[in-house]
Amino acid sequence: MVNMMKAVYCDRGPISLRIDYPQPTVDDGDALVRVILAGVCATDLEMMAGYGPDFSGVLGHEFVGIVEAAPGHEQWVGRRVVGEINIGCGECELCRRGLSKHCRNRTTVGISDKDGVFADHISLPVANLHHVPDDVSDEQAVFTEPLAAALQVLEQISVRPTTAAAVVGDGRLGLLIAQVLAQTGCRLTVFGRHEQNLKLLSHITAEVIQVGTSAGPAGQFADCFDIVVEATGDETGFDTARNIVRPGGVIVLKSTFAGPMAEFDSSSLVVDEVSIVGSRCGPFEPALRMLESGQVRVEEMIHARYSLDDAVQALDLASQKGVLKVLIQP
Amino acid sequence: MVNMMKAVYCDRGPISLRIDYPQPTVDDGDALVRVILAGVCATDLEMMAGYGPDFSGVLGHEFVGIVEAAPGHEQWVGRRVVGEINIGCGECELCRRGLSKHCRNRTTVGISDKDGVFADHISLPVANLHHVPDDVSDEQAVFTEPLAAALQVLEQISVRPTTAAAVVGDGRLGLLIAQVLAQTGCRLTVFGRHEQNLKLLSHITAEVIQVGTSAGPAGQFADCFDIVVEATGDETGFDTARNIVRPGGVIVLKSTFAGPMAEFDSSSLVVDEVSIVGSRCGPFEPALRMLESGQVRVEEMIHARYSLDDAVQALDLASQKGVLKVLIQP
């Protein structure tokens, strides 16, 4: 007998709430996790807009939950956990080289060939789980995955105390990246469009600049920054980043979206010796440490909380401009 | 009285030999250099094709010469020299931060607002000059500037003994980059179209793969390389590099050309966490050390040598596919 559950099903874009979706079964090495809270990410919204067009399954990849079963790994049962979202094949050359998160045969929770977390239950390999410290609340823990993505910037590039850094974008991810960069003592500037979002950065040392709805930062910032992190979530950010990064500087791209190819002037990139760094998922353990210490504040970023029954409305709200984290509670 | 000289004049593209071009005058801090040998670079050919469309002046930037005058710096007179090509304003924020080679008000020898080296004489700030060791021949020294550009790759990224590196392109710069990368002990693969050029790499430890005139490296190399240096000189190389670089790997772009904007799939760059690094001029002193030690072989790369009188023919020959270094001798 297969138990049934509620789940938000994404059918190559359009979503619907299903009340009789089969609960996942678990094999040796997998854990069955009851979802406590899930978070809506820009990627979920892009999936609904056609990014990753081949995905049919349960949406969502940010969560905190409780392990209910873990055949062969019973010590995990009852633990509160968060989970990494990429599941490599374990066999290919990339997996053998420790690059399983980039495995070409991987599945990705709620994004590619693997049911996601907008549901009562999920299954995930035990190897993907991280135990949540008692001092981290559910509302904090649900930010572990996006905070890890923010920390990935520091895994990839060196941000020093004397670095002039900019974050372009004041959405969910932009605010996390700004807080993470501020930890380094760098000279930080954050460009955003939403006054109420930028206000959430009042506890960090950063110059905060509100820009118009269509214009990017003004020309006065040309060549100003050693490092620019582009987190606008759409295709508008790259040109802005290219304009304000100094020669020899680094642009970090964080946005994945359904949209047109970006154009770049290859020769000018060479002449200015600018680097572009694609940046995606990051390390969970330091994210949990930062949540535990309170170094990064996330609870103010919660805009609304919906029951799983109202998940479709939750996703609709999350898609509105300037709305920060929307949580879904099974 | 102004002395006259011969020079190859580029008039926003089209070139001609002038026999009565005014010899440069020199102020305090400048040196008057008699050109011994000059080298033709792909950038010169791109200038003739419309790259840097605002340039009217003497073409050429690779040279070795003898200092004939240096007001205020007489110790330089009689020295054999090579010279860096970027001349910053010395006043702006970029110059103050040590980024004068990227100064927005800079002039660049033979490329932007500064007469170049396809002439009997040039002027250059003494600060740009480097003394050529006696053990380095003129024919070697004329490769200092492009070899420095090849070394710039190692200034920007870390190539380790275990790195799997690829060079795409077997032209003038590609062969220098291949030799430089081979010094690191990395596992090197060179993709090129010209059998006779690839043969010049027989003294280094590298896998050399000849590809067709239109096809890039075959799909068998997908995801294979930690680092790919794109040195094809045109817009064809980027897609190839993108295909063969592994997730999390680095593409170094060396080509500047007159051509269309490149397109890239921004989201796939993020998901694969690939980095793109623009790379241009490099350090002269290590280039001179490598020429002196013989670590890098350049003389086999000389395809032909023309007198300045025949410089137009020299440039025509250099523009043919597969032709390596063409030298011009005043």
Structure confidence by residue, pLDDT tens digits, A11-22: 999 999 999 999
Question: From the CB of residue A111, how many other CB atoms can be counted at a distance below 10 Å?
Answer: 26
CA angle in degrees (0–180, nearest 5) for A223-A225-A228: 115
Does A261 sit within 8 Å of B255, measured CB to CB? no
Structure confidence by residue, pLDDT tens digits, B310-330: 999 999 999 998 899 999 999
Structure confidence by residue, pLDDT tens digits, B65-89: 999 999 999 999 999 999 999 999 9
B285 SS3 class:
helix
Query: What percent of chain A shows pLDDT beyond 70?
Result: 98
Query: What percent of chain B shows pLDDT beyond 90?
Result: 87
Whether the predicted pLDDT of A219 surpasses 70: yes
Which long-range contacts link B216-219 to residues 24+ away (Cβ below 8 Å)? B216/B168, B216/B191, B216/B240, B216/B243, B217/B166, B217/B168, B217/B191, B217/B243, B217/B244, B219/B243
Residue whose C-alpha is closest to residue A45's, from A329, A330, A311, A308: A311
B239 and B216 in contact (C-beta within 8 Å)?
A: yes
The residue of chain B with its CA nearest to that of A153 is B273
Structure confidence by residue, pLDDT tens digits, B86-109: 999 999 999 999 999 999 999 999
- Measured between beta carbons, which residues in chain A are less than 8 angstroms from residue B265? 261-262
Query: Which amino acid, residue B220?
Result: Q
- Measured between beta carbons, which residues in chain B are less than 8 angstroms from residue A154? none
In this prediction, residue A239 carries a pLDDT of 87
Q: How confident is the model at residue A50 (pLDDT cuts 50, 70, 90)?
A: confident
Q: Please tell me which of the candidates B265, B267, B270 has its beta carbon nearest to residue A279.
A: B270
- Residue of B266, B275, B276, B279 best to disrupt the A interface, most CBs of A under 10 A: B266
B151 and B84 in contact (C-beta within 8 Å)?
A: no
Tokens of B9: 């004049």
Q: How confident is the model at residue A256 (pLDDT cuts 50, 70, 90)?
A: confident
- Measured between beta carbons, which residues in chain A are less than 8 angstroms from residue B262? 263-266
C-alpha to C-alpha distance for A9 and A59, rounded to whole angstroms:
6
Q: Which residues contact B219 (CB under 8 A, 6 or more apart)?
A: B243
Strands B225-230 and B245-253: parallel
The count of residues in chain B is: 330
Tell the burial category of B54 from Cβ atoms under 10 Å away from its Cβ (0-12, 13-18, 19+): exposed
- Residue of A266, A269, A270, A280 best to disrupt the B interface, most CBs of B under 10 A: A266
C-alpha to C-alpha distance for B305 and B316, rounded to whole angstroms:
13
- Measured between beta carbons, which residues in chain A are less than 8 angstroms from residue B269? 253, 276, 278
Query: Which amino acid, residue B32?
Result: L
The residue of chain A with its CA nearest to that of B276 is A276
The minimum CA-CA distance between A153 and chain B, rounded to whole Å, is 11
Mean pLDDT over the full length of chain A: 94
A29 at B interface, C-beta within 8 A: no
Average pLDDT score over residue span B170-179:
96
Whether the predicted pLDDT of A39 surpasses 90: yes
Question: From the CB of residue B241, how many other CB atoms can be counted at a distance below 10 Å?
Answer: 30
Please give the order of strands across the beta sheet that includes B56-58: B15-22, B4-11, B56-58
The residue of chain B with its CA nearest to that of A238 is B266
A265 at B interface, C-beta within 8 A: yes
In this prediction, residue B52 carries a pLDDT of 76
Query: Range with the lowest mean pLDDT among A49-63, B105-119, B155-169?
Result: A49-63
Helices (DSSP H) in B245-300: which residue ranges? 266-272, 284-293
In this prediction, residue A217 carries a pLDDT of 60
C-alpha to C-alpha distance for B151 and B280, rounded to whole angstroms:
10
Does A255 sit within 8 Å of B278, measured CB to CB? no
Q: Would you report the helix, strand and coil content of chain B in percent, each value rounded to 5?
A: 30, 30, 40
C-alpha to C-alpha distance for B115 and B81, rounded to whole angstroms:
17
- Residue of A273, A277, A279 best to disrupt the B interface, most CBs of B under 10 A: A273
In this prediction, residue A41 carries a pLDDT of 94
- Measured between beta carbons, which residues in chain B are less than 8 angstroms from residue A273? 102, 156, 277-280
Whether the predicted pLDDT of B45 surpasses 60: yes
B308 and B118 in contact (C-beta within 8 Å)?
A: yes
Does A262 sit within 8 Å of B261, measured CB to CB? no
A219 at B interface, C-beta within 8 A: no
In this prediction, residue B216 carries a pLDDT of 55
B253 at A interface, C-beta within 8 A: yes
* Look-up of token digits 């002037």: A265
The residue of chain A with its CA nearest to that of B231 is A270
* DSSP for A85-143, written as a single string: -EE--SSSHHHHTT-GGG-TT-EEETTBEE--SSBSEEEEEGGGEEEPPTTS-HHHHTT
Tokens of A170: 């004041």
Tokens of A79: 């633990």
Q: Which residues of A237-271 are buried (b: 16+ CB within 10 A; e: fewer)?
A: bbebbbbbbbbbbbbbbbbbbbbeebebebbebbb
The residue of chain A with its CA nearest to that of B270 is A278
Query: Range with the lowest mean pLDDT among A30-39, A250-259, B150-159?
Result: A250-259
C-alpha to C-alpha distance for B84 and B145, rounded to whole angstroms:
7
In this prediction, residue B61 carries a pLDDT of 98
B271 at A interface, C-beta within 8 A: yes
- Measured between beta carbons, which residues in chain B are less than 8 angstroms from residue A93? 223
In this prediction, residue A1 carries a pLDDT of 74
* Look-up of token digits 């008000």: B105
Q: Which residues contact A98 (CB under 8 A, 6 or more apart)?
A: none
Does A246 sit within 8 Å of B256, measured CB to CB? no
A9 SS3 class:
strand
- For B74, B159, B253, the CA distances from A265, given in Å and listed in that order, are 43, 26, 12
The residue of chain B with its CA nearest to that of A257 is B267
Does A275 sit within 8 Å of B277, measured CB to CB? yes
Whether the predicted pLDDT of A54 surpasses 90: no
Interface predicted TM-score of the whole assembly (ipTM), two decimals? 0.90
In this prediction, residue A216 carries a pLDDT of 55
A220 at B interface, C-beta within 8 A: no
C-alpha to C-alpha distance for B28 and A32, rounded to whole angstroms:
78
Average pLDDT score over residue span A214-231:
82
Structure confidence by residue, pLDDT tens digits, A151-172: 999 999 999 999 999 999 999 9
CA angle in degrees (0–180, nearest 5) for A42-A323-A285: 55
C-alpha to C-alpha distance for B33 and B66, rounded to whole angstroms:
5
Mean pLDDT over the full length of chain B: 94
